[in-house]
């Protein structure tokens, strides 16, 4: 008999329609268990145990909430359970999956995050199916690591490595992954690995060397001293005035080809903004860059020449969470840089 622990954190999967809106509900999360027990997907060979460390919509999550979730997972008696499932809001699922992946990079049991597009009482909801597939994956595959399970618009229950999930897009609510390659999918309630040169084989998950950051629940810091900027035509950097209060770092997203405005001067010049930030002692990171050894546009090279630190082969979501953790773990900026740009903790670097 498999024993799984379900950790509820709220989100749409634990919400109910209340008046004209949707919000977390004290009984919403446990209604998911009731719906599962009453469904044809229920299994008699699995015992579900529950706890609720958080109960909020995931767009409201803060570093303090991540610490609460981390403490709840760390407190799990690993001799008692075969896996952990975390129900999470879909709005920030990709960020939460990445953060949990870093904090529990050495887990020897499956930790599976899942979510829902609508409250489970809504006939359009994929939440119950996502939950059932997460249970099947955790119970049957026994693969150590952090994963996310979520059904796409084709009805395919995709499985993602926790650091290789990108935020859902507006209008379609579809999650992505670097190069469009998920880790696999559930088919007839069993996992099928997506054989791809960039995907670690299931067998290699058990053989991977431990790469666990050193942290304790009572002293864990996840630093919010970061400004994250997305480029667009007409982005005027003169509005970013850090002279009075300085972030520890800026993470600047890039266009798909690894570029942003590299005009030599003026308010739209990213190189000038990078230099201004560096003069204030602010580390400046750029991401995503597929591979800095490939031919780069001249505009990309100007950003590097101006002092930008390149985070390559990593999604912006994975990079942002790793940077927040790095700054929390390391007061020394150089150690934080090495933590972010050095070796991977849990497959966050992507190969084509």
Whole-number Å distance between alpha carbons of 151 and 175: 9
Task: Report DSSP state, residue 238.
Answer: G
Q: Is 3 helix (H, G, I), strand (E, B) or coil?
A: strand
Q: Which among 9, 12, 92, 163 is annotated as catalytic?
A: 12
CA 187 to each of CA 25, 135, 155, 156, 192: distance values in angstroms, whole numbers, following the listed order: 32, 14, 10, 8, 7
Q: In what order do the strands lie in the sheet with 110-114?
A: 46-51, 2-8, 83-87, 110-114, 145-151, 157-161, 184-187, 190-193
Q: Is 9 a catalytic residue?
A: no
Q: What share of the chain is helix, strand, coil (3-state, %, to 5)?
A: 30, 20, 50
Q: Cβ distance 12 to 89 under 8 Å?
A: yes
Whole-number Å distance between alpha carbons of 77 and 59: 29
Q: Is 207 helix (H, G, I), strand (E, B) or coil?
A: helix
Q: Cβ distance 307 to 284 under 8 Å?
A: yes
Whole-number Å distance between alpha carbons of 283 and 189: 46
Tell me the catalytic residues: 12
């Amino acid at each position: 008999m498999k024993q799984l622990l379900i950790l509820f954190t709220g989100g749409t999967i634990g919400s109910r329609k209340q008046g004209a809106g949707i919000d977390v509900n004290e009984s919403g999360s446990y209604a998911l268990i009731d719906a599962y027990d009453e469904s044809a997907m229920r299994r008699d060979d699995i015992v579900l145990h529950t706890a609720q460390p958080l109960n909020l919509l995931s767009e409201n999550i803060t570093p303090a909430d991540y610490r609460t979730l981390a403490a709840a997972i760390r407190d799990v008696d690993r001799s008692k359970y075969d896996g952990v499932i975390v129900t999470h809001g879909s709005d920030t699922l990709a960020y939460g999956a990445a953060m949990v992946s870093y904090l529990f990079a050495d887990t020897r049991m499956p930790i599976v995050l899942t979510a829902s597009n609508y409250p489970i009482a809504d006939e359009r909801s994929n939440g119950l199916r996502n939950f059932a597939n997460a249970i099947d994956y955790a119970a049957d595959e026994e693969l150590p690591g952090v994963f996310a399970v979520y059904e796409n618009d084709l009805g395919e229950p995709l499985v993602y490595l926790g650091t290789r999930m990108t935020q859902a897009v507006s209008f379609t609510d579809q999650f992505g992954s670097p190069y469009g390659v998920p880790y696999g999918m559930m088919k007839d309630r069993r996992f099928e690995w997506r054989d791809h040169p960039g995907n670690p084989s299931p067998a290699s998950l058990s053989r991977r060397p431990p790469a666990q950051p050193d942290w304790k629940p009572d002293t864990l810091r996840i630093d919010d001293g970061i400004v994250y900027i997305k480029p667009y035509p007409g982005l005027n950097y003169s509005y970013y005035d850090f002279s009075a209060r300085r972030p520890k770092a800026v993470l600047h997203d890039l266009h798909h080809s690894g570029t942003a405005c590299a005009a030599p001067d003026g308010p739209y010049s990213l190189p000038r903004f990078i230099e201004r930030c560096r003069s204030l002692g602010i580390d400046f990171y750029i991401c995503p860059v597929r591979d800095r050894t490939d031919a780069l546009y001249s505009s990309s090279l100007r950003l590097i020449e101006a002092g930008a630190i390149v985070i390559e082969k990593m999604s912006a979501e994975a990079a942002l969470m790793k940077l927040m953790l790095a700054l929390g773990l390391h007061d020394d900026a150089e150690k934080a840089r090495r933590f972010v740009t050095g070796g991977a903790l849990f497959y966050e670097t992507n190969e084509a």
